[in-house]
């Protein structure tokens, strides 16, 4: 264990072996940090708040939280969480393994996130969002939840497995982004999307099957399902399963 002398670590926090905590970081009481985790400088881990239900913040093993990040108590992260800088994560975020959260992203809490999800920089995940596995959300995307703001009605967004939401798109409250859907940049999605279709515009309209998008790498192969050509950062077991077709994606050809 390597705790910098200018870090502030509660004696009540449960801290595993081989954990590193950087200078000017604060670890609060209600926290369990598992083995082999790195918390960089200027972080706050386990910020107390009355909406957490008194639950622990759990950071799974082999996680890496970059500097200036803030996690509230009452959330649970599986192993191998990786974050950029200045991430904010509120209470009651329940996430699977191998989640990546990009710099400046803001997860508002009270949401569920599957395995191997990738949030790029500066995404905003509203409360009551439900995110599947292998989902990609790109910079400046907002998942909303209030159909007539301000109100007490919370209708979260659902994003199904392997879906991709490109830069600066808004998904309106209660919408389901179907499995393997691609939402193009700068779109506003106001109704449920079909699986493995491309949607673009404001409001977003269905353009074609995802399999109709061609790779611009000279191969002229289909760009989707993306699992056929992109596997950086996924474990060998996942890549092997994809090779066996266990993703269940067709590029929309069978729809």
The binding site for a copy of itself (CB under 8 A) comprises: 6, 8, 23-24, 26, 41-42, 44, 47, 67-68, 70, 84-86, 88, 103-104, 106, 108, 118, 121-122, 124, 136, 138-140, 142, 144, 147-153, 155, 164, 166-168, 170, 172, 174, 185-186, 188, 201-202, 213-217, 223-224, 226, 229-230, 232
Q: Residue 127 CB, nearest distance to a copy of itself (Å)?
A: 11
152-155 CB contacts, 8 Å cutoff, 24+ apart = 154/127, 154/128, 155/128
* Measured distance CA(200)–CA(212) in Å, rounded: 14
Going by C-alpha positions, the residue among 162, 160, 171, 173 that lies closest to residue 199 is 171
Element (H, E) at 199: strand 197-201
Q: Residue 18 CB, nearest distance to a copy of itself (Å)?
A: 19
Q: Closer to a copy of itself at the Cβ: 34 or 159?
A: 159
Q: Closer to a copy of itself at the Cβ: 25 or 61?
A: 25
In degrees, to the nearest 5, what angle opens at C-alpha 127 toward C-alphas 126 and 132? Answer: 80
* Measured distance CA(189)–CA(181) in Å, rounded: 12
Q: Residue 126 CB, nearest distance to a copy of itself (Å)?
A: 8
Q: Residue 85 CB, nearest distance to a copy of itself (Å)?
A: 6
Q: Residue 15 CB, nearest distance to a copy of itself (Å)?
A: 19
Q: Closer to a copy of itself at the Cβ: 25 or 34?
A: 25
Element (H, E) at 197: strand 197-201
Q: Closer to a copy of itself at the Cβ: 20 or 103?
A: 103
* Measured distance CA(117)–CA(97) in Å, rounded: 8
């Amino acid at each position: 264990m390597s705790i910098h002398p200018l870090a502030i670590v509660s004696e009540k926090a449960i801290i595993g072996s081989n954990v590193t905590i950087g200078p000017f970081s604060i670890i609060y009481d209600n926290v369990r940090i598992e083995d082999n985790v790195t918390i960089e400088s200027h972080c706050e881990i386990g910020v107390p708040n009355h909406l957490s239900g008194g639950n622990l913040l759990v950071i799974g093993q082999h996680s890496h939280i970059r500097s200036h990040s803030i996690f509230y108590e009452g959330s649970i992260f599986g192993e191998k969480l990786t974050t950029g800088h200045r991430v904010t994560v509120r209470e009651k975020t329940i996430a699977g393994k191998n989640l990546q959260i990009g710099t400046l992203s803001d997860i508002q809490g009270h949401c569920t996130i599957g395995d191997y999800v990738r949030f790029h920089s500066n995404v905003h995940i509203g409360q009551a969002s439900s995110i599947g596995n292998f989902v990609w959300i790109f910079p400046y995307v907002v998942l909303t939840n209030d159909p007539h703001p301000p109100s007490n009605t919370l209708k979260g967004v659902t994003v199904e497995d392997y879906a991709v939401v490109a830069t600066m798109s808004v998904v309106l409250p209660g919408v389901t982004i179907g499995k393997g859907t691609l939402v193009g940049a700068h779109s506003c999605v106001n109704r449920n999307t079909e699986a493995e279709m491309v949607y673009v515009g404001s409001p977003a309209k269905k353009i074609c099957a995802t399999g109709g998008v061609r790779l611009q790498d000279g191969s002229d192969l289909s760009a989707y399902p993306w699992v056929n050509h992109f596997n950086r950062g996924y474990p060998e077991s996942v890549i092997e399963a994809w090779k066996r077709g266990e993703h269940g994606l067709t590029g929309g050809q069978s729809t």
